[in-house]
A and B are shown apart, each in its own frame.
Chain A
Amino acid sequence: MADGEYSYSLNANGSVNDINGNSVESSFTTKYGTNINVGGGSVFARILSEFGGGSQVLAIHNEALAGSTNSSGSTNWAAYAAHTIWLDKINNYGGDMGSAATPTLNRRVPLGARGGGLGNPFKNMNLSQIDNVFQTHVKSGKMIPKPGAPGSKVYQNVKSGYSYNLDPGGVYGKKVEGSHIDVNYSKPKPKNIPKKKLPVSGGF
């Protein structure tokens, strides 16, 4: 990366990795002299406000945090991670879960440096929890509900056209399909990659 370009990714448990996937210590000092304490929401406010382009990401942080706070006032970090990734995608890539973009909180990573897949941010969440995340995006106008099979829910990203099928699975003959999310690409679809299937931890 060029001088001054940093990227940190948030894990569901609240820990932080650097761009190389290495775990960041609980406390460290950046080259700009700012002390960073990992493990709480405020860390990202400080990280993001430190670097250029941080205002949009800070807004993402605040929105994600607001949508991930339990009634007791505690933060659901798994939901926060999902919120953050989604808001990042929706705001910057049109909600493209299938892109090669990295789930980063930093907008200064060159596109060419992003590689690999996004992984599955929902693997530790059930469909009800994920549905709550999607509903917040429906309320904000970023997604719209679509017709789905009985017992399932479908949402489409307004900006990208990608659709997300929250499918509880089922038993079809002797075939058993577990709960999952299917991500369908918008037109024009990439060749030979018709969809992305993301297993989840449980149904509705």
Chain B
Amino acid sequence: MISFESEKSINNIYLFIDKEGIDDLIGYLNYIKHNNESFHLVLGNEIEENPIIKGNSVVGHVKLIYLDEQDK
């Protein structure tokens, strides 16, 4: 489980993540690192559709992009 959430009136993002979600996220991060790639986290696929905190808005899409030293 991976849930990115934001509070409506505050510029703040929560990442709620369980054990399996941590393993998944590490896998995604290692993938983009080892392949110099990007990876999409999609609502209902990689990202939970319902917020953990009632009233929060879920972030529907997150793109992880690896930047090596030459890309910065």
By a beta-carbon cutoff of 8 Å, the part of chain A in contact with chain B is 146-149, 154, 156, 161-163, 165, 167, 172-175, 177, 182, 184, 186-187, 189, 194-195, 197
Contacts and interface: CB of A to CB of B under 8 A. Distances in A.
Contacts of B37: 197
Contact of A194 (B39, B67, B72): B39
A143 to B, nearest CB: 12
Interface size class of B (residues with CB under 8 A): 20 to 34
B63 interface: yes
Given A172-B65, A197-B37, 8 more contacts: A146-B44, A147-B60, A154-B42, A156-B42, A156-B44, A163-B42, A194-B28, A194-B39
A165 B42 contact: yes
Contacts of A172: 65, 67, 71
A161 B45 contact: yes
4 cross-chain pairs, A with B, having the tightest CB-CB distances, nearest first: A147-B60, A175-B71, A163-B42, A165-B40
Given A172-B71, A173-B71, A175-B71, A147 B61 contact: yes
Interface in B28-71: 28, 31, 37-40, 42-46, 60-61, 63, 65, 67, 70-71
A154 B67 contact: no
Nearest to A180: B38
Contact of B71 (A149, A174, A184, A195): A174
A50 to B, nearest CB: 40
Contacts of B67: 172-173, 175
A195 B45 contact: no
Contact of A154 (B28, B61, B71): B61
A184 B40 contact: yes
Contacts of B40: 148, 154, 163, 165, 167, 182, 184, 195
A173 B37 CA distance: 14
Contacts of A174: 70-72
Nearest to A165: B40
A177 B64 CA distance: 13
A175 B65 contact: yes
26 contacts: A146-B42, A146-B45, A146-B60, A147-B42, A147-B43, A147-B61, A148-B42, A148-B61, A149-B63, A154-B42, A156-B44, A156-B45, A161-B45, A163-B45, A167-B38, A167-B40, A172-B71, A173-B67, A173-B72, A174-B70, A174-B71, A174-B72, A175-B67, A184-B40, A184-B45, A186-B45
A149 B62 CA distance: 8
Contacts of B27: 194
